Amino acid sequence: MDHTNHVRLTSDELTPALLENATIYGPDDETVGTVSHVHGSGSSAKVVIDVGGFLGIGAKPVAINAADLDFMRDEDGDVHAVTSWTKDQLKELPEHRDA
């Protein structure tokens, strides 16, 4: 997927309602996870990504700063993000547990 023409989201658009269920793409455009939920909003928000598993079963939730992901909209208006982290690198992060 060519992300060059996709519109980057502004910090004000980084809200749970907009980011939840967004696909996260890693290097070589492989799907590395999906946004499960978001704590807070803006560039300081914590984005919880389900990594691995199949259809949400067996996935490991990990938390990443929204600023570490490049969120954008594609030509159809669908929100997704790009990261330089691989699926294996994300799986090595500590498991996120909601308090």
Domains of the chain: 7-91 (2.30.30.240)
For 18, phi then psi, to 5°, come to: -85, -35
- Asked if 25 and 35 touch (Cβ cutoff 8 Å), the reply is no
Residues 71, 8 contacting (CB under 8 angstroms): yes
68: pLDDT strictly greater than 90: yes
Query: Confidence band (pLDDT; 50, 70, 90) for 73?
Result: very high
Beta bridge partners of 48: 37, 63
pLDDT at 98: 82
Using pLDDT thresholds of 50, 70 and 90, give the confidence band for residue 56: low
Residue 16 phi, psi dihedral angles, 5° rounding: -55, -40
Indicate if the pLDDT at residue 83 is higher than 90: yes
Structure confidence at residue 57 (pLDDT): 76
Edge to edge, the sheet with strand 23-25 lists 7-8, 70-73, 79-82, 23-25, 31-39, 46-51, 60-65
pLDDT > 80? residue 36: yes
**What pTM was computed for the model?**
0.91
Report, as an integer, the average pLDDT of 12-16. Answer: 96
* pLDDT above 80: residue 54: no
67-83: average pLDDT: 95
